[in-house]
Amino acid sequence: MTGRGERQVIEVIGAPIEVGTSEAGAVMGPASLRTAGLVTTLSDLGWPVVDRGDVAPDAGAPSHGPGAVAAWALALREAVGAALDRSALPLVIGGDHSLSLGTVDAVLRHSMAAGRDLFVLWLDAHADFNTPETSPSGNMHGMPLAALCGEPGFADLFGDEARVALAPGNVHLFGLRSIDAGERALVAARRIDVVDMRTIDEFGVVAPLRRILERVQAAGGVLHVSLDVDFLDPALAPGVGTTVPGGATFREAHLIMEMLHDSGLVAALDVVELNPFLDERGRSARLLVELVASLFGRTIVERAPALPDTGGG
Which pLDDT does position 114 carry in this prediction?
97
CA distances from 198 to 16, 235, 279 (A): 33, 19, 27
Domains of the chain and CATH, by start: 10-154+162-295 (3.40.800.10)
Which residues on neighbouring strands pair with residue 54, listed in sequence order? Answer: 14
Residue 266 and residue 260 in contact, taking contact as beta carbons nearer than 8 Å? yes
Residue 273 designated active-site: yes
Residue 124 designated active-site: yes
Residue 85 designated active-site: no
Residue 97 designated active-site: yes
- Whether 288 shows a pLDDT value over 60: the answer reads yes
Residue 44 designated active-site: no
| Average pLDDT over the chain, rounded to an integer | 92
- For CA atoms 135, 141, 144, 147, the dihedral sign is positive
Residue 172 designated active-site: no
- Whether 141 shows a pLDDT value over 70: the answer reads yes
Number of C-beta neighbours around residue 243 at 10 A: 18
pTM of this structure: 0.93
9-32 per-position pLDDT tens digit: 999 999 999 998 888 999 999 999
- Whether 69 shows a pLDDT value over 60: the answer reads yes
Residue 224 designated active-site: no
The catalytic position among 126, 172, 254, 261 is: 126
The catalytic position among 105, 124, 193, 279 is: 124
224-250 per-position pLDDT tens digit: 999 999 999 999 999 999 899 999 999
- Whether 301 shows a pLDDT value over 90: the answer reads no
Q: By three-state DSSP, how is residue 162 classified? A: coil
